A and B are shown apart, each in its own frame.
Chain A
Amino acid sequence: MSDGVMIRVDGVSKKYCRDLKRSLRYGLYDLADELLLKRKTEVKLRHQEFWALRNLSFELNQGESLGVIGVNGSGKTTLLKMLQGLIKPSKGSITVRGYVGALISLGAGFQPILSGRENIYINASILGISKRTVEHKLSDIIDFADIGDFIDAPVRSYSSGMKMRLGFSVATNLVEPDVLLIDEVLAAGDMAFKYKCMQRMKEIMDSGTTVVFVSHSIRQVEQLCQTTLLLNKGTVEDLGPTQRVCQKYYELVNQKTLTKEITDLSKKPFKGLEGQHANPNVFEISKIELLNTLREPQEQFYVFETVIIRLHFVAHQLIRKLIAGFQITTVDGVCISAFSSESQDIHPDCLGSGYVDCVISKPPMREGAYLIGCAIWDDGGGKLFTSTRLAELSVIPDQTSRQEAGSGTGLVYIPVSWHFSPVQNLQ
C-alpha cells in the first residue's frame, strides 16, 4: 500500500442471512470452512442470504474524511464493523494502516454500579489505553465531560446524555488514532454539548486523522467531510464530493417518500397519503399546485423565483373564518419558515369548492429539495387538515442567484454586498 493511503477497501462484499435459524447453521458451516482451510474463490449466495454490501472499493489518504450516508439498511454499519475488524468480509479485502479508534456506542462497557471515575479507567482499558496515560489525562476528560460532582456517583444514576458525555470525552481525549470511525454518536446530548463535540471532531480531523463518519444528519456530514459515499441497499449509489452526493441522497429519499401523485390529489383520494383530514365530509383538500408568477404549474423553481402554492379545497359545509398555514422544511425536517394567513388577519368564511393562493416572493432557499407542509383551521381553532409532506419544492440554481449571493454555504442565500473602507497601501 502506498505511503499516504490509510484505508483501502478493495472489492468488498458482505452477505447476511435473513432467517435466524438458517443463519446459525451457516455460522457453523463457515466455521468448519475456516478450520478446513477451504478457499473461498467464488462466493455465492446461499438460500435466504442477501448482499448487505456489494463490491465496494475506495481509498482514503491521510487526513481525508469520508462521510457515509444512506437510508436504514444500506450497509453503513456493516462497513464500519468490517473496518474495525469485528467481522470479516465475504469477499475482497480491507487494508487499514495504523491505530484505529472508534466513536461507536459510546460508554459501552460502563458498569452501572461503579462511579464515573472508576468507569473511565475501565473504558480506557477496553480501548487499549494504559493506566498511566489515563492518569495523565484524567482531568482533561473530566473537564470535557463537564458533569460536575456526578463523576463520583454511580453511573446508573446518570442520564443518557451524561453517559454520552462521559463516553465521548473518554473516547476523544485519550486516543489520538490514525484512523477514526464515527457512527451516529451525537444522538443524545444537549445542543451545547453537540456543538462542543463537533468542534472536537473537527480538531481531530485537522490534526491529520483519517475519518470515516457515518451519519443520518446530512448537515453534519456536510460540515465535516469533503468526500461522501452514498450507499443504497448495499451498493454504491455515488462516491464523490459531499455536496453532489448529499444532493443525490435527498433525491433518493424523495423518491421513496414522495410520488408525483401527491401533487395531484384529485387523481387519488387522500387515503394513505401524508395528510390528515379531520372530517372529509366537512372539509376536503382536493389538489395542490405549485405555480409560477404567470399562474402556470411549474416543476422546478430557480433560487429567488417567486412560488405560488395553490391549494384547492371543497367545503361541504360553511366553514367560518378559514385560516391556511404552510411551512417549508428541508427533507430532514428542519423548518425554514412557517407562515399562516392569520398573521395577516385574513380569514374568510368559505362554502363550496375554491382555492387559496399563497405567494412566496423571492424564497431564499439554496438549490435542493424541500417539503411543503400545510395546516388548515377554522374559527374555533380546530384543525381541518394537516400534513407535513404535502408537496415537494425543487429549487435549482441559476446564474444570477450565484452572483447575487456568492457561493457560500448554509440553508438559505442571503443577498449580501461588500464595502471596504480605504485601506493603506504599505508599499
Chain B
Amino acid sequence: MELKRSRPIVVYTAESSLRNPQQLLRDMVQDLLASRELAWRLLVRNISVRYRQSLLGPVWTFVTPLATAIAFTLLRSSGVIEVGNTQVPYPFYVVVGVVLWQLFTSSLNLPLKAMKSAQTLIKTIKMPIEAIILSSVGELLFDQAINFGVLILLLVLFKIPLTFGILLAPFASVLLLSLGLGLGLGLVPVGSLYTDISSAIPIVTQFWFFLTPVIYTPPTRFPYSLLTHLNPVSPLLVGVRSLLSQGTLDDPTPFFIVSGLSMLLLLFSWVLYRLSIPILIER
C-alpha cells in the first residue's frame, strides 16, 4: 500500500469556475506544478521521437534562418532591396532577426498545434492540460538553445565583440515567446472549434513578417515609424537583437511596456484556455 493519501473532494457543476477566482488560481498553480513531470516526459518523448527518425537531427533547426539570410544578403548586395545601414554585418542581422521571428511565430502556432496532436489524450484522460503546452514550450526552448549556440558561433565568425548583454538575450527572448504564447493560447478556444484560424495564421504571419523589422532596420520617419510603435513584436525583437549584437537596449521604454503587457496577456489567455477545455472536449 502506498502512503495514505488525503482525499481531496472535487465538485463539478455547471457554474463558471471564474465565480471562484481564488480556487481557480489555486487550481492553476497546482496543475502547473503537477504538470512538470508529465511535461518533461512528453518533452523527452517528443525530442527523442523527432531525432530517432532523422539523420541530420538538429541541423534542420537552423536551415531557415541561414537560407533567409543568404537570400536577402544577395538581394541587398545586388541592389534589389534597400534596407538601411545596420550596425552589425547584414547577414548576421538577418539571421538573428529570422531566428527571433521564428521564435515568435512558433510560439504563436504552438498552442493550437499542441492541442491538435494531443487531442485523443485530452479527450480521454483527465490530466493537467498545462503539460501539453509546457512540453511544447520545452521543445521550442530546446531548438532555441541550439539556435543561440549557432548565433554565438556566428558572432565570433563575424568578429563582433562579445558583451554581457548576450547573457541577457536568452531571457529577453522568453518575453517574445510569452507574447506569441499569449496570443496563441487566446486563439485556442476559437481555433479548436473552427479550422479557419489555423488557415489564417500562416497568411497573417507572413504579412506580419514584412511589417516587422526583421530584414530591415526600424524606420524612423513618420508614418513608417508607426510600424515599430504599433507592432508589439518590433520592440521585443529589436531589443533582443541589440542585446545580442551590442549588449544594450536601444529603446528600453517600449520594450518594457510590451513585456509587461505580454505577461498580462499570457495570464489572461491561460485562464481562457482553462475555461474552454471542458467545452472543447465536448465538441
Residues of A within 8 A of B (CB): 1, 16, 23-24, 27-28, 30-31, 33-35, 37-40, 43, 81-82, 84-100, 102, 104-105, 108-109, 111, 113-114, 118, 121-122, 125-128, 130-131, 133, 176, 178
- Check if B124 is an interface residue, CB within 8 A of chain A: yes
A102–B126 CA distance with the chains assembled, in angstroms:
9
- Check if B23 is an interface residue, CB within 8 A of chain A: no
Q: Which of A35, A86, A92, A98 contacts B281 (CB 8 A)?
A: A86
Q: Which of A1, A85, A178 contacts B126 (CB 8 A)?
A: A85
A108–B126 CA distance with the chains assembled, in angstroms:
12
A34–B21 CA distance with the chains assembled, in angstroms:
12
Closest residue to B127 on the A side, CB-wise? A126
- Check if B267 is an interface residue, CB within 8 A of chain A: no
The 0/1 profile, CB within 8 Å of A marked 1, for residues 22-42 of chain B is 000000000000100110111
Question: Given A85-B126, A88-B278, A108-B124, are A31 and B9 also a contact pair (CB < 8 Å)?
Answer: no
**Beyond A40-B15, A88-B12, A96-B12: 15 further Cβ-contacts under 8 Å?**
A30-B279, A31-B279, A34-B18, A35-B16, A38-B16, A86-B126, A87-B282, A89-B12, A89-B14, A97-B7, A98-B7, A108-B120, A122-B45, A126-B41, A133-B2
Question: Given A87-B278, A96-B9, are A28 and B193 also a contact pair (CB < 8 Å)?
Answer: yes
Q: How far is the CB of A108 from chain B (nearest CB, A)?
A: 5
Question: Given A35-B18, A43-B14, A99-B5, are A114 and B49 also a contact pair (CB < 8 Å)?
Answer: yes
Question: Given A31-B275, A122-B45, A125-B37, are A93 and B11 also a contact pair (CB < 8 Å)?
Answer: yes
B275 touches A176 (CB 8 A): no
Within 8 A of A (CB), among B102-130: 120-121, 123-128
Number of interface residues of B (CB under 8 A): 48
Q: Which of B8, B16, B276, B280 has the largest number of chain A CB atoms within 10 A?
A: B16
The B interface is mostly helix, strand or loop, or mixed, namely helix
Residues of B within 8 A of A84 (CB): 125-126
B125 touches A105 (CB 8 A): yes
- Check if B13 is an interface residue, CB within 8 A of chain A: yes
Residues of A within 8 A of B40 (CB): 125
User: Could you pull out 18 A-B pairs where Cβ atoms are within 8 angstroms?
Assistant: A27-B280, A34-B16, A34-B275, A35-B275, A37-B19, A43-B14, A82-B12, A90-B14, A91-B14, A96-B11, A97-B7, A105-B120, A105-B125, A122-B41, A126-B41, A126-B127, A127-B125, A176-B1
Q: Which of A23, A31, A105 contacts B124 (CB 8 A)?
A: A105
A81–B45 CA distance with the chains assembled, in angstroms:
27
A100 touches B126 (CB 8 A): yes
B49 touches A16 (CB 8 A): no
B125 touches A108 (CB 8 A): yes
Residues of B within 8 A of A88 (CB): 12-14, 278-279
Residues of B within 8 A of A122 (CB): 41-42, 45
The 0/1 profile, CB within 8 Å of A marked 1, for residues 243-283 of chain B is 00000000000000000000000000000100110111111
Q: Which of A39, A40, A131 contacts B37 (CB 8 A)?
A: A131
A104 touches B124 (CB 8 A): yes
Q: Which of B41, B278, B282 has the largest number of chain A CB atoms within 10 A?
A: B282
A82–B12 CA distance with the chains assembled, in angstroms:
8
A87–B278 CA distance with the chains assembled, in angstroms:
5
- Check if B141 is an interface residue, CB within 8 A of chain A: no
Question: Given A114-B45, A122-B41, are A31 and B276 also a contact pair (CB < 8 Å)?
Answer: yes
Residues of B within 8 A of A (CB): 1-2, 5, 7-19, 34, 37-38, 40-42, 45, 48-49, 52-53, 120-121, 123-128, 189-190, 193-194, 272, 275-276, 278-283
Residues of B within 8 A of A39 (CB): 15
Question: Given A34-B16, A86-B126, A86-B278, are A97 and B41 also a contact pair (CB < 8 Å)?
Answer: no
Closest residue to B193 on the A side, CB-wise? A24
Q: How far is the CB of B17 from chain A (nearest CB, A)?
A: 8
Q: How far is the CB of A102 from chain B (nearest CB, A)?
A: 7
Q: Which of B2, B19, B128 has the largest number of chain A CB atoms within 10 A?
A: B2
Q: How far is the CB of A218 from chain B (nearest CB, A)?
A: 24
Closest residue to A62 on the B side, CB-wise? B7
Q: Which of B1, B53, B283 has the largest number of chain A CB atoms within 10 A?
A: B283
Residues of B within 8 A of A113 (CB): 49, 52-53
A92 touches B127 (CB 8 A): no
B125 touches A102 (CB 8 A): yes
B282 touches A16 (CB 8 A): yes
Residues of A within 8 A of B282 (CB): 16, 27, 87
Q: Which of B13, B34, B42 contacts A89 (CB 8 A)?
A: B13
Closest residue to A111 on the B side, CB-wise? B45
Residues of B within 8 A of A126 (CB): 38, 41, 121, 125, 127
Q: How far is the CB of B35 from chain A (nearest CB, A)?
A: 9
Q: How far is the CB of B92 from chain A (nearest CB, A)?
A: 37
Q: How far is the CB of A109 from chain B (nearest CB, A)?
A: 5
Q: How far is the CB of B252 from chain A (nearest CB, A)?
A: 34
A34–B283 CA distance with the chains assembled, in angstroms:
16
Q: Which of B38, B48, B125 has the largest number of chain A CB atoms within 10 A?
A: B125
Q: Which 6 A-B pairs have the closest CB atoms?
A: A98-B7, A125-B41, A34-B16, A105-B124, A93-B13, A94-B12
B126 touches A95 (CB 8 A): no
Residues of B within 8 A of A98 (CB): 5, 7-8
Residues of B within 8 A of A34 (CB): 16-18, 275-276, 279
A291–B48 CA distance with the chains assembled, in angstroms:
70
Residues of A within 8 A of B189 (CB): 28, 31
Q: How far is the CB of B134 from chain A (nearest CB, A)?
A: 12
Residues of B within 8 A of A121 (CB): 41
Question: Given A24-B193, A125-B41, A126-B38, are A33 and B283 also a contact pair (CB < 8 Å)?
Answer: no
Closest residue to A34 on the B side, CB-wise? B16
A91–B279 CA distance with the chains assembled, in angstroms:
14
